[in-house]
Amino acid sequence: MQRLPYKLGVDIGGTFTDTVLINEATGEIHIDKVLTTPDDPSRAVITLVHRISDRLNISAGNIGSIIHGTTLVTNAIIERKGAKTGLITTRGFRDILEIGREMRYDIYDLFARMPKPLVPRYLCMVVDERIGPDGNVIKAIDESEVKTVVQRLLDQEVEAMAVSLLHSFRNPRHEQLIQKLIHQINPNMVVSLSSEVVPEIREYERTSTTVANSYVRPLMQHYLKRLTDALQELGFRGMLFMMLSDGGITTAETAAKFPIRIIESGPAGGAIAAQQYGELTGQNDLISFDMGGTTAKICIIEDGQPMKAKDFEAARVYRFKKGSGIPLKVPVIELIEIGAGGGSIAKVNNMGLLVVGPESSGADPGPACYGRGGKDPAVTDADLILGYLDPNYFLGGEMRLDIEAAQEAIMETVGNPMGLPLQEAAWGIHEMVNENMADSAKAYAMEKGIDLMKRAMVVLGGAGPVHAYGIALKLKINKIICPPRAGVLSALGFLAAPASFELSRSYVTVLDGLDIDLVNTIYREMEAEGTRTLEKVGVLPKDISFSRIVGARYLGQGYEIEIPVPGGELKSESIESLRQSFNKQYQRIYNRLNEGMEIEFIDWRVLASGPKPVLNLGGNLSYGSQENAAHKGYRDIFFPETGGYTRASVYDRYGLEVGAVITGPAVVEEKESTLVIGPHGRAEVDAWGNIIVTIDSVKH
């Protein structure tokens, strides 16, 4: 059989695992999804590869590459299911994980709980060494002391070690020596060095990130080996890539060494996909709304690029309170994550008020309507009662929903305790979720100085199209873009992501004292390392591009803003260019300048990127020739604007032609998701198969 240029994107979510297979030569796209297998996530992946192979009559050997995103890393940290990890640090810093920043995330909560460190104090060891902030050795390291410390950790049966020494980002020599001595004693021990994981200032965040990396490394290495072995048994001989949290891809080997870099890999794929469809429709400023089975994610896309951050918090004690989680210094696409997915559980709290999430029923047992033993009412149960979902067409009919079980769960847990009839209880759940998501989006946009009303909303995820209309009304957004295959768009986003890797180094200096030669050396070293990393992915050096940024602030400030750094060799005249770039960015953000104050530079970064894949997203849409052929009938659907249940048209998305017009109220069904169009909505199918919904009642 002739080898075809197939690429497979795989997204493991909390409830469903999605796949998208694309033939790069023809643009042909095939999709599928199954329930996630929490006990062994690789099982769902193998099941989907089997199903696609059987349906298309191709072998795994026809797949040239698999690009994979997973929630395994973040789940391991949240559930505390990582490896038993030991920490080696500089004498005097044993309690760095306990002390943190000595800040309370809520100064008015007398009982505020801080996140529990991943390494308990008895596994935190110190060595008597010291490197200064300039990188010079103040106190040399004692090898015999290191061996004693390592043996003490081995006696405690640790499975991984993290090494984070003071100022190692300027001189990694002591950390490297400790790693060498560890491997002399135990060659198989997993070791993470802070000088490799995150060579930047801020000791607490650097140590926390390095510890988290070691904590999940054995789990990730075991998972990737299990997945690789299973794929090879199927005949797969291509390359396995992993999605990075900042929207790039890297090799499985790099992901196994730095698994903390893929902590937000799944949601990143959704943002990349939204960006792609924004380009197709000529929309550079967007809001991406991705609602799956466990969480909902909102991302701002500015000038055609998802907004990014260099910090992230995992395992928050309170999901929506910044500072209540474990800080990680990793590059990520900036997302607002809300505990509101199709599986989010509804209940009545001690004050008699309705709350929804963040607890989720997940894939097992799932919402009550899944018929898998779940008794708690979830958002999907409410959507089913409200008529938004067809119980006989969930997953294209592969999975029948139990409407009686949904009714019983909602009434027992919400309706009866609150004295509400079924439809009001279901609407309360649906509305509560929409309100939570809209409020979070408003607060985030306000912090960034962004007007959401001027943006279109790209919706994706299995539940995203169901809730998009209601959220758009609350945000006063009058245009919704619902791409084809919206329910698996994160997996499709993996296939649209370029190979990339971000590197950083700390060099703290004021602008007027900047050592240009040192900065040039730093960038040459980082770009060489980035080139080596991308070559492993198969990118030719001539096709690699670099973008540079530096974190800068006024001397004495605590946090930085990011400004671009020119490419190539910097010269003395570059100093004035950096000053102007800082002034321009600071003025844009804060609408003021502090004239006369010195400017300080902190972290120097470079993003190495390969060519962006070109996808034929209009291929294999299988649309019919006329709107009437797509009309499946009618269904009673609940809309508060009409005072209750209203007769709405039901359409088969696969039968809609390009240019077809739909007037709400209506629903458009495809296998992976259902788009709800309210009474004030009007939809049209564009040349790319997107359903563009315009809401007439939204006034700016």
Q: Which amino acid is at 515?
A: D
CA dist., res. 494 & res. 491, Å (int): 5
Closest to 266 (Cα-Cα) out of 347, 332, 216: 332
Strand partners, 694: 479, 682
Over residues 563-584, the pLDDT tens digits come to 999 999 999 888 999 999 999 9
Helix or strand run (H / E) with residue 534: helix 516-537
- Other C-beta atoms closer than 10 Å to the C-beta of 189 total 19
CA dist., res. 333 & res. 288, Å (int): 12
CA dist., res. 368 & res. 378, Å (int): 7
What's the average model confidence in pLDDT over 656-682? 92
Q: Please report which confidence band the pLDDT of residue 483 belongs to, taking 50, 70 and 90 as the band edges.
A: very high
CA dist., res. 416 & res. 402, Å (int): 20
Helix, strand, or coil (residue 371): coil
pLDDT at residue 214 in the model: 97
CA dist., res. 204 & res. 95, Å (int): 10
Where do we find the tokens 């390095």? 210
Where do we find the tokens 């290191």? 146
Burial, 254: exposed, middle or buried (Cβ in 10 Å; 0-12, 13-18, 19+)? buried
Alpha helices per DSSP H over 340-396: 379-385
Alpha helices per DSSP H over 34-172: 41-56, 72-78, 96-99, 143-155
pLDDT at residue 257 in the model: 94
What's the average model confidence in pLDDT over 171-188? 96
- Other C-beta atoms closer than 10 Å to the C-beta of 449 total 9
Does the pLDDT of residue 512 top 70, yes or no? yes
Report how far Cα 15 is from the mean position of its chain's Cα atoms. 15
Alpha helices per DSSP H over 135-284: 143-155, 173-185, 194-197, 203-233, 252-257, 265-280
Closest to 458 (Cα-Cα) out of 682, 630, 297: 297
Over residues 33-60, the pLDDT tens digits come to 888 888 888 898 999 988 888 888 888 8
Domains (range + CATH), the chain: 6-76+222-261 (3.30.420.40), 80-216 (3.40.50), 500-609 (no CATH)
Q: Which residues contact 13 (CB under 8 A, 6 or more apart)?
A: 36, 71, 266, 292, 293, 294, 490
What's the average model confidence in pLDDT over 335-353? 84
DSSP string covering 597-639: PPEEEEEEEEEEE-PPP---TTTT----S-HHHHEEEEEEEEE
Helix, strand, or coil (residue 32): strand
Does the pLDDT of residue 2 top 60, yes or no? no
Helix, strand, or coil (residue 298): strand
Over residues 232-280, the pLDDT tens digits come to 998 898 889 999 998 888 889 999 999 999 998 878 888 999 998 888 8
Helix axis angle, 403-410 to 422-448, nearest 10°: 80
**Spatial contact of 690 and 280, defined as CB atoms under 8 Å apart:** yes
Q: Which amino acid is at 668?
A: V
pLDDT at residue 443 in the model: 84
